[in-house]
Amino acid sequence: MSTHAYRTPTPDPDSNEHTPRPRYFTPRHDDPADDADTTDGYHSGPPSSHSVSETRFPASSQGYSERAPSESATSASLVPPAEDALASAPAPDPVMAHGPGTLFLPPPGEVEDRFDQDSAYDEESLLGDDTMTLASYITNYRYENGRRYHAYRDGAYWGPNDEPASEQMDLAHHMYALTLDQRLHLAPVQNPGRILDVGTGTGIWAIDVADQYPDAYVLGVDLSPIQPEFVPPNCTFEVDDVTLDWVFDEGFDLIHIREMFGSIPNWSSFLQQAYQHTKPGGWVEIVEHSVHPVSDDDTVGPDHFYNLWGRTVIGLGEKFGKPFTIWEEAKGLMEEAGFVDVVEVRYKWPMNGWPADPLQKELGRWNQLRLKIGIEGFMLRLLTTVGGWSIERAQLFLAQMRKEISDYSTHAYLPGTVVYGRKPYS
């Protein structure tokens, strides 16, 4: 494949010699201090801190998240939302859902064709076969049913890249911190020199891990350039499709893969690729959860709506060609790919604050808020394009889910796994 053409070489933190001349983001804040380096070591984009080429990222700040790291959901002052606040949290506006942003509802046959074009490891060129510039490939976002979606590799990913989607991702990051006792990873990596965050989203994990390992080079890759402009100097973001061939010059000590469910067509090939790009002795960690709520006490009976929800998401993932079941398959697939010392750690995310256990209760309250904000983004594109549902039917389905997640008599949770494994030394 020829996506290599616009790749930037791995940046040398002390030099830009090999990097195409970068154009840095224009801060969207009015405060002139935003243009200067800050005292906490964060930069708004001087060469050594954010070596993103103009071919990879857009020339303007259009579409960039306005959140600075200090506003992220990991702030120590966070407290879980009160239950009455959850009940009154605004649901997505159904008028917007039908509104003028509805630009794209392709006929059913076209959907499959378009998704087929996204098959993994293909030979598709992203340069030279189109008169559009690469920047417009990245920034001409697609609007569907009032939500904003990525433009680069249009249609490859089910989720929006707008502000509510970012908020949902950052809430999930906070929940992972709670789940993992404030650790960013469980893999016992020592003094990592190079770290890759696959499908980095808002970049919140990459930024935190760059802070934790200031001597490491941290690279976050995503289809959407929604990462903040203020990043630690050792953190870089690139727009790329991780289902294409990886062309990194050097291997990584840690490759982090989180919530890539429904995004990877062939996990075996994907993990083989991750294996090839892991240094001997290095680690790959996969953090995923189920999309099908279950209970241990039969409060989710056979006819419960959660079963319909779970079957629908999993079925749409299969139709889309990108499964949502990686959370329970990751360990076996890691071992098949050649990783050793593979460990699986299981966790549970309650659907709301029903548990008595304080940590589970706190996780549940956060999860209820995350789902309330997130379910439209999780499902709208899958339901209306892959599933071919009308927007009205999709909104009714989402409304039913919102009702269920407010029911404390159902002791439901999403099971999840953290799986990590080491590449052998030889």
Ligand X SMILES: C[S@@+](CC[C@H](N)C(=O)[O-])C[C@H]1O[C@@H](n2cnc3c(N)ncnc32)[C@H](O)[C@@H]1O
DSSP assignment of 319-340: HHT--S-HHHHHHHHHHHHT-E
Stretch that binds ligand X, among 105-113, 167-175, 295-303, 310-318 (CB under 6 A): 167-175
Q: Which stretch binds ligand X (CB under 6 A): 63-71, 95-103, 151-159, 266-274?
A: 151-159
Which residues ranging from 177 to 196 are in contact with ligand X (CB under 6 A)? none
State which residue, 239 or 300, has the beta carbon closest to ligand X: 239
| Among 312, 252, 317, 259, residue whose Cα is nearest residue 284 | 252
Beta bridge partners of 148: 143
Contacts of 345 by beta carbon, 8 Å cutoff, 6+ apart: 186, 417, 418, 419
Among the listed residues 157, 237, 275, 324, the single contact to ligand X using CB under 6 A = 157
Query: Are β-strands 235-239 and 217-222 bridged in parallel, bridged antiparallel, or unpaired?
Result: parallel
Pairing of strands 278-289, 252-258: parallel
- Residue 376 as a binder of ligand X (CB under 6 A): the answer is no
Per CB under 6 A, 169 contacts ligand X = yes
- Concatenating the DSSP letter of every residue in 362-395 gives HHHHHHHHHHHHHHHHHHHHIIIIIS---HHHHH
384 binds ligand X (CB under 6 A): no
Chosen residue from 8, 51, 61, 263 binding ligand X by CB under 6 A: 263
Residue 288 touches ligand X, criterion: CB under 6 A: no
User: Closer CB to ligand X, residue 18 or residue 346?
Assistant: 346
Residue nearer to ligand X on the CB measure, 205 or 366: 205
Name the burial class of residue 108, with classes exposed (0-12), middle (13-18) and buried (19+) by CB atoms within 10 angstroms of its CB. exposed
Residue 167, classed as helix, strand or coil, is helix
Number of chain residues interacting with ligand X (CB under 6 A): 23
Q: Which of 135, 171, 189, 223 binds ligand X (CB under 6 A)?
A: 223
222 counts as binding ligand X under rule CB under 6 A: yes
Residue with Cβ nearer ligand X (293 or 355):
293
Q: Applying CB under 6 A, does 224 fall inside the site for ligand X?
A: yes
Task: Give the three-state DSSP class for 152.
Answer: coil
> Binding of ligand X at residue 199 (CB under 6 A)?
yes
Binding flag, residue 290, ligand X (CB under 6 A): no
Rg (CA), the chain: 21
- The tokens for 405 are 């997640």
Q: Which 233-262 residues touch ligand X, going by CB under 6 A?
A: 241-243, 258-260
Name the residue nearer to ligand X (CB basis): 156 or 314. Answer: 156
CA distance 38 to 46: 12
Smallest distance, Å, CB 349 to ligand X?
13
Kindly list the residues in this chain that would bind ligand X in the complex (CB under 6 A): 150, 156-157, 159, 169, 172-173, 199-201, 204-205, 221-224, 241-243, 258-260, 263
